[in-house]
Chain A
Amino acid sequence: MTLKIRSSIAMENKAPAVVLPMDTASIPGTIQPVNENKIEIQDFSFYYGNFKALGNINMLVPANQIIAIIGPSGCGKSTFLRSINRMNDLVPNIHTEGQVCLNGEDILGQGVDVVDVRRRVGMVFQRPNPFPKSIYENVAYGPRLYGIGKSHGLDEIVYNALKQAALWDEVKDKLHQSAMALSGGQQQRLCIARALAVEPEVILMDEPASALDPVATLKIEELMQTLKETYTIIIVTHNMQQAARVSDFTAFMMIDNPQTRTGVLVEYGPTAQIFTNPKNKQTEDYVTGRFG
């Protein structure tokens, strides 16, 4: 894979809305751009009613990389993740500030088609949540929403999605049996296949392996490595070893202080740097297991 190395200055010229601080390495939320940025998050704040759950998050997500978000429970990791495909819209009384840009286009803006955002930004949940339908119907659910039927090559889409999710060989003989009969790990890979079938650009994973045994977890992690050639992946995990194993970049989030309980991005950078040579004391304490 060729990496397009771009300076921060060049990017500023292309997208004037992105204001990068001069000393990019020392400011949380900025990294030296590697690939083209898939997602650019600027000054993003999130409120449940009056409660500020996320404060002023800045983050650039390069394409075709795996970004891990780590941090103690209750620091807003999931809220942050769910903002990227607007799943938080389901919660009443929320509002956001700032921008979350997908390919340079703000997805939080007025008049944005939420359905389209969710098609482009797929999601895999903490617990496998296959629909109580057949394996085939689970994968076909997404394409069918967009009017793709058998005559438009639905079978092929289902085949490709299951193949990409490394599930095809295990289920090819029982495509029309219920998905509920699969094991937990298979169900989770089915959910990944289901998300892949609508050809998203980004896949969000909210602790995808936390309900799985070590073997199934390993399979999901291997799968992520192949998927990143095609997709950009953002994963929330409580498992720091997992973050260190799978991700290219790591973001460490924490609440700013016990009174306001607003989640902030403390440090963001290449995974190796976060785990071996963090710039921030809190990050160091967390990754070395001194708290959290």
Chain B
Amino acid sequence: MSTGTQLWMGASSHQFFQSKRRYRQRQLTNQLMLSLTGLFMFLAVIPLFWIIGYVILKGGQYINLSFFTHLPTPLGVVGGGVLNAIEGTVVLTVLASLFAVPPGILAAYYVAFRPNSVLGTIVRFGTDVLSGVPSIIVGLFIYALVVKSQGHFSALAGAIALAILMLPIIVRTTEEMIKLVPNSLREGALALGSPEWKTALSVTLPAAAQGIVTGILLGIARASGETAPLLFTALGNDNYDIGNIIRSGIATHQGVFTILGSIIGQPVDSLPLTLWKYAQQPYPERINQAWAAALVLIIVVLLINILARVWVQIQTHRMQGK
């Protein structure tokens, strides 16, 4: 064998690779590394199942129908639920999504197609910084900006604070997803004479829909689990009941907008906020209800995630003709 094929320590390539001992060693290393990655994969999912299991164990027994349909009872009175917090969470999340999703997607579209423009750089840097701002600071900011100037806490202020937290998540994921859409698709539409805005609405954004929806969901999941920004903005409200507001609004012949105004204009509770308040009280029934609230919160967030992922899967398969 020529010197050119000589490998380390003078062993020829032939001897080196055919050696039984080397082969055994490689197999062992392979098995060792494989079991290590498997083990750590297992360790990584332990917290998830532990948390879910523990919350089900502690809170599951306190969940019943009235937990979902009744307002909290005064201390010492048995029963009562967290209807106010469930409704508040829905109102806050829907409002926050309304505030964050349209500007988030538009900004992402701009950044995706003008990445090197001055404004594009600023927006990208800005969203990065914004995603690192502690949520309680956002709460304080909205307190100063909205609550102080309005003179009262409200669902509106809470939703704005949550929207600010959702915005960077939506912008960054949407931007990445739009960039993944092949440019040839966009060119195909433009070559037919489609204006840029129609191309975006009818081709680019639908093609990226799967990722965009995932981004929005991540944002919603983050917003619906936040407590800190709501402390100074939504505050909490034991008597919040949308049904009551609508009934009394109709009884006093208020317009639709007045009723909507009072739905978003007053302080509301949310599940994490209730959880936080109940968990630090010394009364066992409140603690138990906090566990139950935690369980409901986890289930809601999981359900949103699972449903949306299934929907997105179906859509993608339909588009790809499977």
| Residue A178, interface by CB 8 Å | yes
Name the B residues within 8 Å of A146 (CB-CB): 193
Report if B203 contacts A (CB, 8 A).
yes
Judging by beta carbons under 8 Å apart, are B192 and A145 in contact?
A: yes
Instruction: Determine if A142 and B185 form an interchain contact, defined as CB atoms under 8 angstroms apart.
Output: no
Known: A115-B193, A115-B195, A141-B202. A129 touches B188 (CB 8 A): yes
Let me know if A145 and B188 touch, CB within 8 A: no
Give a binary string over A122-156; 1 marks a CB under 8 Å from any B CB, 0 the rest.
11010101111100000001100110000000000
Within 191-208 of A, Cβ neighbours of B (below 8 Å) are at: 191, 194-195, 198
Task: For the complex, give the distance between the alpha carbons of A142 and B321 in Å.
Answer: 21
CB-based contact B202/A119 at 8 Å: no
Question: Quick check: is A105 within 8 A (CB to CB) of the other chain?
Answer: no
Asked, given contacts A87-B187, A127-B184, A129-B185, whether A180 binds B192 with beta carbons under 8 Å apart, the answer is no
Cβ-neighbour of A131 out of B188, B195, B198, B321 (below 8 A) = B188
CB neighbours of B193 from chain A (8 A)? 115-119, 142, 145-146, 198
Is the CB of A181 closer than 8 A to any CB of chain B? yes
Q: Which residues of chain A are within 8 angstroms of B189 by Cβ–Cβ distance?
A: 131, 141
Contact status A118-B192, CB under 8 Å: yes
Question: How near does chain B come to A66, taking the closest CB pair, in angstroms?
Answer: 19
With a CB–CB cut-off of 8 A, which chain A residues contact B182?
129
Are A178 and B320 neighbours in the complex by a CB distance under 8 Å?
A: yes
Please classify how large the interface on chain A is, using the bins under 10, 10 to 19, 20 to 34, 35 or more.
20 to 34
Residues of B within 8 A of A194 (CB): 188, 192
Interface: B260 (CB within 8 A)? no
Task: Give min CB distance, B179 to chain A, whole Å.
Answer: 15
User: Inside 8 A of B225's CB, which chain A residues have their CB?
Assistant: none
Report the separation of the CA atoms of residues A116 and B194 in the bound assembly, to the nearest whole angstrom: 10
Q: Are B320 and A85 in contact (CB under 8 A)?
A: no
Chain A window 156-188, contacts with chain B (Cβ cutoff 8 Å), 1 for yes, 0 for no = 000000000000000000000111110000000
* Residue B190 is within 8 A (CB to CB) of chain A in the complex: yes
Residue numbers in B under 8 Å from A129 (CB-CB): 182, 184-185, 187-188
The reply to whether B192 and A125 contact each other, CB–CB distance below 8 Å, is no
Cβ of A90 under 8 Å from chain B: yes
Q: In the complex, are the beta carbons of B188 and A119 less than 8 A apart?
A: no
Which of these, B192, B203, B207, contacts A119 with CB under 8 Å?
B192
Cβ of B318 < 8 Å from any Cβ of A? yes
A142 touching B188 by the CB < 8 A rule?
no
Across the two chains, which residue of chain A brings its CB closest to B318?
Answer: A178
In the complex formed, the residue of A with least CB distance to B116 is A92
Docked Cα-Cα span, A179 to B320, in Å, equals 8
From the candidates A127, A142, A179, name the one contacting B192 in the complex (CB within 8 A).
A142
- Say whether B190 contacts A90, CB under 8 Å: yes
A191 CB contacts on chain B under 8 angstroms: 188
Contact in complex: A125, B188 (CB < 8 Å): yes
Q: Is B191 an interface residue (CB 8 A)?
A: yes
Q: Output the nearest chain B residue to A138 by Cβ-Cβ distance.
A: B188
Contact, CB under 8 Å: A85 / B191: yes
Point out the residues of chain B lying under 8 angstroms from A198, CB to CB: 192-193
With a cutoff of 8 Å between Cβ atoms, the chain A residues found around residue B79 in the complex are none
Asked if A180 and B319 sit within 8 Å, CB to CB, the answer is: yes
Sample of 12 further A-B pairs with CB below 8 A, known A115-B194, A119-B193, A132-B206: A90-B187, A90-B190, A118-B190, A118-B192, A125-B188, A125-B191, A131-B189, A141-B192, A142-B194, A145-B193, A146-B193, A198-B192
The 10 A-B residue pairs whose C-beta atoms are closest, nearest first, are A181-B321, A178-B321, A119-B193, A123-B191, A129-B184, A132-B319, A118-B193, A142-B192, A129-B188, A115-B193
Query: Would you give 22 A-B contacts (Cβ < 8 Å), ordered by A?
Result: A87-B187, A116-B193, A119-B193, A123-B187, A125-B188, A129-B182, A131-B185, A131-B188, A131-B207, A132-B185, A132-B207, A132-B319, A142-B193, A142-B194, A145-B192, A145-B194, A177-B321, A178-B318, A180-B321, A181-B322, A191-B188, A198-B192
